[in-house]
Amino acid sequence: GAGVSQSPSNKVTEKGKDVELRCDPISGHTALYWYRQSLGQGLEFLIYFQGNSAPDKSGLPSDRFSAERTGGSVSTLTIQRTQQEDSAVYLCASSSRVAWNGYTFGSGTRLTVV
């Protein structure tokens, strides 16, 4: 696609429920990143996929968080048993390895856990 697409744009969920957040990167971009932005905070790195390499999961805050990337394209971030502290904006970005010029970001998913 022309840009990075994230869905849903907003999600309200009850504490303890599982949620899935989707990211559709720019076609041809081999790298895909997930960041979390809590209120008043910067962007916290969560996970990074590059081509067929093993993902860098070093930023995932707990084992309730997981992500996968199918076919080197669409990625899903899953949060199990959501907690109120998981409330944040989850941003996805992609980049090209061939012509690296920074990330292209999606508009994010605002997750609210009530």
- Residues making contact with other proteins (CB under 8 A): 31, 33, 35, 40-43, 45, 48, 50, 53, 56, 59, 89, 91, 93, 97, 100-103, 105, 107-108, 110
Of 27 and 101, the one with the shorter C-beta distance to other proteins is 101
Shortest distance (Å) from residue 7 CB to other proteins: 14
Of 54 and 114, the one with the shorter C-beta distance to other proteins is 54
Q: What is the 3-state secondary structure (H, E, C) of the chain?
A: CCCCEEECCEEEECCCCCEEEEEECCCCCCEEEEEEECCCCCEEEEEEEECCCCCECCCCCCCCEEEEEHHHCCEEEEECCCCHHHCEEEEEEEECCCCCCCCEECCCEEEEEC
Of 14 and 42, the one with the shorter C-beta distance to other proteins is 42
Shortest distance (Å) from residue 16 CB to other proteins: 26
- Cα dihedral angle (23, 28, 33, 35), rounded to 10 degrees? -50
Shortest distance (Å) from residue 42 CB to other proteins: 4
Shortest distance (Å) from residue 56 CB to other proteins: 7
